[in-house]
Amino acid sequence: MPATLRDVAEYAQVSMRTVSNVVSGYTHVSERMRKHVLQAIDELGYRPNPVARTLRTGRTGMLAFVVPEIDVPYFSALARDVIDAAAEVGYRVMIDQTGHDHDHERDLLTGNDRTMLFDGILFSPLVTKAELLEMNSPTQMPLVLLGEHEFDGRYDHVAIDNVRAAYDAVRHLLDTGRTRVAAIGAQPLEEYATPQQRTVGYELALREVGIEPEQRYARPAAHYSRADGYGAAVELLALDVRPDAIFCFSDLLAMGAMRAVFDAGLSVPQDVAIIGIDNIEEGRFSRPSLSTISLDTSFIAEQAIARVTARIETPDLRPRQIVAPHTLRIRESTASIER
Amino acid sequence: MPATLRDVAEYAQVSMRTVSNVVSGYTHVSERMRKHVLQAIDELGYRPNPVARTLRTGRTGMLAFVVPEIDVPYFSALARDVIDAAAEVGYRVMIDQTGHDHDHERDLLTGNDRTMLFDGILFSPLVTKAELLEMNSPTQMPLVLLGEHEFDGRYDHVAIDNVRAAYDAVRHLLDTGRTRVAAIGAQPLEEYATPQQRTVGYELALREVGIEPEQRYARPAAHYSRADGYGAAVELLALDVRPDAIFCFSDLLAMGAMRAVFDAGLSVPQDVAIIGIDNIEEGRFSRPSLSTISLDTSFIAEQAIARVTARIETPDLRPRQIVAPHTLRIRESTASIER
DNA sequence: TTGTAAGCGTTATCAC
DNA sequence: GTGATAACGCTTACAA
C-alpha cells in the first residue's frame, strides 16, 4: 500500500493541508515546517496520486495525439515534435492510433470514447469531409485538427497550403524541363480534402505552362505507403507514353515509386524525375536523395500545442486556421538532365 | 457542465447504484429499468468520468511505452504493434519519449514522475547496466523491459538473443566470401548491454573462421542514426585496407553507411556488403535493398503486453525472460560477388 | 501560517 | 433488484 497524504500528515503530526501545501509547491509555509514535512514524505516514500489530483482539479495533464498510423515516418516525426512541444508546457502526450478506423475516430470526436483521460486532442484524421460536417454532437474537448480538411470555422486547424505545396512541387518539375508529369496519391473520390487540394495544385501548375492534365497520369493511392507508391509507379511506367516525372503526394509514395523505376530498368532522375511531400529523413539518405516539399513539423507541433492549451484555459476561443510554411527542397531525384 | 451519475439518477428517479449498474454492464438489473436508465443517459448526454472511475478502481486502463525517440523506425514500428496488442486487451498506450535523458528514465523507474496515470510500463531504455543495478527504490509499477540489458532476474524482460543475432549477421557476410568485416555501433564503454552483446556475437563469428577482430574495424555510434552510420562508414572507407563488408548494429546505421559508400564512389554490394538489424520497411525499398536481421516486433509487443497485464492482475509474479525469435533476411546489399 | 472539512464522480458495501 | 452511504486521495474555501 502506497502512503497517502493523510499518512504523511499523521506521521508528521501536521494537517493534510500543510502537507498538500508543501507537495504542490509554493504556498506560504515556514522553512522549518517544509523541511519537517519533506522528511516525513521521504521516510514514508510518499508519492502524490495523480488520479486523485486530477479528479479534484479536472486536469489530467495529458493530451491525445491521434493519427492513422504511428509508424508512418511523417507522423512519427510529427509525434516527436508534438511530444517535445507538449513537454515544454507541462503536458504529456498519449498517442492514439486509429488504424484507418473511422468509427474509432468518430468515437473520439463525439466523446463516445470510454477512456478519455486527457485534456485536449490533436487530431490528424482520416475522416471524410462529409463525416466531419455531419458530426452533430461534437465533444466539448478542446480539439485541434492537423493537416487535413478545409477550414470550416468550427475547429482550430493547423496545416500547410496544400494547393500551393503541390503547385510548387510540380512547377519545379516543369522548370527542370519535364513535360509529362504524372501524380500519385490523387483520390478518385472527393471525400478527402488533402489529396483533392494537392490535385488542384498539380493541375494548376500544368495548365499554367499550357499542359492539359491527363487522366491516365493521375494515379490514386489508398494509404500513401511505399507499397502503394510502388504499385502506382509500375502502372505509370507501363503506359505507351511513359511520364518523365512523377509528383508523389507523400515521400513514402515517392520511395516506393523510385524503387519501381529501378526495377523497370530505368533511372532516377535521368528517365523519370521524382518529387515527394513531407521531407522525411529517409529521403536525405536514399539514392538518389529525394526532392521534396518540406513541412515544418516543429512549427506545426508548436502551433497546435499552443492552440490546444490556450483552448484548455479559455474554451470559448474563436477557432483559427493556422497555415504552416513549406519549402521546396531540391535534391538528386529531380536533377536537371543533359539534353 | 457535463452530467454526472447523480444527475442521471435524479432525472430517472432511481438511485445512483442502479445507474452505475446499467453503465458498467452486467449486474442484475431488470430490462425495463435498463431501458429507462439508458434513455435518461441519452437525454442528458451523460458520459462516465474515467478519472473518478479510476480513483475508485485504481485502474487507469493506460500503459506507458517508453522509448528514447519515437521517430526511430524500429521504435515506431514497435509502438504500432504495442498499441495494437494493448487495444486487444482493453488498454491504451501513452508514449513517453525520453530523448536520451537518463534522469527522465530514472524518474519513471523510481516512481518520481509526477504524472503517472498508467497501470504499467513497457520500457525500452537507455539506462546503463550500472544505473539499472543501483536503482534502489524501484517503483511498484508493473514493468517490462524491452530489448536491452541482461536479464538480472528483477524485471520481466523481452528481447532477442543479441549475441546470436549479431553472430548470424556476420556469419552470413563471411559465407558470401567477405573477409574484412567491419562493425558500426559498438560502444567503447561497457555501459550498455545491447551493443556489447552484439559485439560479442560479431567477434565470435570472426574467430570461428579464424579471423582475429581488428580494433580499427569496430566503430562506435552514439545514436544508431543514419547520420552516425554515415560518419562511421566514411571513417572505415578511409582506412588503408578498406573493409569489404560492414555489419551495422541497426538498419538505420546501415542506411547511412550505404549512402557513404556511394558518396565514396563505391558500390554495394560489389565493393562493400552491408547488413543491418531491425528489418525496417525502408530497407525493403532502398537500392540496394538491405539485408538484415528481422526482429518479430509483433511477437515482442504481444509478449510484453501479456506480461505486463498479467503482472497488473498478479503483482507478485516471478520475473521472466522471454527471448524473441530473429531471422536472417538476405537481400541485395549482401549479394555474393563474382570473383 | 496552519487546521478543518467539504467536495470531485465514481464504485462497493451494506442493508432491505 | 434496488436504495442509501461510505470510501478512493486529493485540493481548496473557510476558519482560526
pLDDT digits 0-9 by tens, A233-279: 999 999 999 999 999 999 999 999 999 999 999 999 999 999 999 99
B255 touches chain A (CB under 8 A): yes
Q: Do A71 and B70 touch (CB under 8 A)?
A: no
Using DSSP, how many helices (H) and how many strands (E) does chain A show?
A: 13, 12
Sheet strand arrangement including A245-248? A218-219, A181-184, A245-248, A273-278, A291-295, A326-329
Determine the Cα angle at B144 with ends B142 and B146, to 5°. 160
What are the residues facing A245 on neighbouring strands? A181, A273
Distance B37 CA to D10 C1' (A): 31
pLDDT value, residue B42: 86
Chain D positions with an atom below 7 A of a protein C-beta are 1-13
All three cell numbers of A320 = 483559427
> Looking at the predicted structure, is the pLDDT value of residue B137 above 60?
no
Please name the residues in contact with A95: beta carbons below 8 A apart, sequence gap of 6 or more.
A64, A65, A66, A67, A70, A79, B70, B79, B83, B93, B94, B95
* pLDDT tens, residue by residue, A186-211: 876 667 788 889 999 999 999 999 99
Q: How far apart are CA B19 and CA B37, in angstroms?
A: 6
Tell which CATH classification among 3.40.50.2300, 3.40.50.10300, 3.90.1150.10, 3.30.1490.20 matches the domain A162-295+328-334. Answer: 3.40.50.2300
Q: How far is CA B196 from CA B174, B191, B214, in A?
A: 21, 8, 16
pLDDT(B43) > 60: yes
- Write out the H or E segment, with its range, that includes residue B245: strand B245-248
**Which residue intervals of chain B are DSSP H helices?**
5-12, 16-23, 31-44, 50-57, 73-88, 102-110, 129-134, 162-175, 193-208, 226-237, 251-263, 282-285, 297-313
Q: How far apart are CA A168 and CA A76, in angstroms?
A: 25
- Residue of A94, A132, A89, A126 whose CA lies nearest to A110: A132
Pairs from B216-221 (Cβ < 8 Å, separation ≥ 24): B217/B180, B217/B181, B217/B182, B217/B183, B217/B243, B218/B182, B218/B183, B218/B186, B219/B182, B219/B183, B219/B184, B219/B185, B219/B186, B220/B185, B220/B186, B220/B187, B220/B188, B221/B184, B221/B185, B221/B186, B221/B249, B221/B253
Chain-chain contact of B255 with A94 (C-beta, under 8 angstroms): no
| Chain B contact for A298 (CB, 8 A cutoff) | no
Mean pLDDT of B193-212: 94
Per-residue pLDDT reduced to its tens digit, B221-256? 988 999 999 999 999 999 999 999 999 999 999 999
Q: Report which secondary-structure segment, H or E, holds A193.
A: helix A193-208
- On chain A, the residues whose CB falls within 8 A of the CB of B54 are 51, 117
B51 close contact with A: CB closer than 8 A: yes
- In a 13 Å sphere around the CA of B178, the CA atoms on its Cβ side amount to 30
Answer whether A207's CB lies under 8 Å from A199's CB. no
How far is the C-alpha of A301 from the C-alpha of A332, rounded, in Å?
29
Fold of A5-57: 434 Repressor (Amino-terminal Domain) (1.10.260)
Angle at A46 between CA A42 and CA A52, to 5 degrees: 155
Interchain contact, B80 vs A70, CB within 8 Å = yes
For A29-33, A87-91, A99-103, B157-161, which range has the lowest pLDDT when averaged over its residues? A99-103
A62-161+296-325: CATH number: 3.40.50.2300
- A136 touching B (Cβ < 8 Å): no
Measure the CA–CA gap between A160 and A322, rounded to whole angstroms: 8
- Give the distance from residue A121's alpha carbon to the nearest chain B alpha carbon, in angstroms: 13
Chain CA centroid to CA A277, Å: 13
Sketch the domain layout of chain A as residue ranges.
5-57, 62-161+296-325, 162-295+328-334
- CB atoms under 10 Å from CB of B104, counted, come to 19
* pLDDT tens track for A41-86: 888 888 888 888 888 888 888 999 999 999 999 999 999 999 999 9
Phi, psi angle pair for A327, to nearest 5°: -135, 140
| B120-123 and B62-67 strand pairing | parallel
Cβ atoms of A69 and A227 closer than 8 Å: no
For A145, counting Cβ atoms within 10 Å of its Cβ (0-12 exposed, 13-18 middle, 19+ buried), the class is buried
* Lookup: nucleotide whose C1' is closest to A8 CA: D9
CA of A184 to C1' of C1 (A): 69
Mean pLDDT within A122-149: 73
Confidence of residue B100 (pLDDT cuts 50, 70, 90): confident
**Residues A285-305: tens digit of each pLDDT:** 999 999 999 999 999 999 999
Instruction: Please answer yes or no on whether A51 and B47 come within 8 Å at the CB atom.
Output: no
Of A53, A61, A120, A59, give the one whose Cα is nearest residue A87.
A61
Which residues 201-240 of B have a C-beta within 8 angstroms of A?
Answer: 226, 230
Chain B residues touching A114 at Cβ < 8 A: 48, 50
| Beta carbons of A245 and A173 less than 8 angstroms apart | yes
pLDDT averaged over chain A?
89
Q: Residue B273: which region, alpha, beta or left (left: phi > 0; alpha: psi -120 to 50)?
A: beta
Q: Across all residues in chain B, what is the average pLDDT?
A: 89
- Scored b (16 or more CB within 10 A) or e, B120-142 reads bbbbbbbbbbeebeebeeebebb
B62-161+296-325 matches B162-295+328-334 in fold = yes
Instruction: Report the nucleotide nearest the CA of residue B2, measured to C1'.
Output: C9
Three cell numbers written together for B224: 544508431
Q: Which nucleotide is nearest to B54 (CA to C1')?
A: C10
Would you say residue B101 has pLDDT above 90? no
**Chains A–B, number of C-beta pairs less than 8 Å apart:** 140
Of residues A215 and A147, the one with the higher pLDDT is A215
Q: Residue B215: its pLDDT value, please?
A: 92
Model pLDDT for residues A206-236, shown as the tens digit of each residue: 999 999 999 999 999 988 999 999 999 999 9
Q: If pLDDT is split at 50, 70 and 90, which confidence band does B189 have?
A: low
pLDDT value, residue B322: 95
Q: B84 at the A interface (CB within 8 A)? A: yes
Determine the average pLDDT of the residues in A104-131.
76
Cα separation of B82 and B299, whole Å? 10
The residue of chain A nearest to residue B83, with distances taken between CA atoms, is A97
Interface check for B282 against chain A (CB to CB < 8 A): the answer is: yes
Say whether pLDDT at B278 is over 80: yes
Footprint of strand D, using CB within 7 A? A 2, 4-6, 16-17, 20-21, 23-24, 46-49, 52-53, 55-57; B 13-18, 21, 27-30, 32-33, 52, 55-56
Question: Can you tell me which residue has its alpha carbon closest to the C1' of nucleotide D8?
Answer: B56
**Residues in CB range of A146: below 8 A, 6 or more apart:** A78, A122, A123, A124, A157, A158, A159, A300, A304
CB < 8 Å from A in window 116-135 of B: 116-117
Distance A112 CA to D5 C1' (A): 30
Q: Does A84 contact B94 at a Cβ distance shorter than 8 Å?
A: no
**Measured CA B55 to C1' C16 distance, in angstroms:** 29
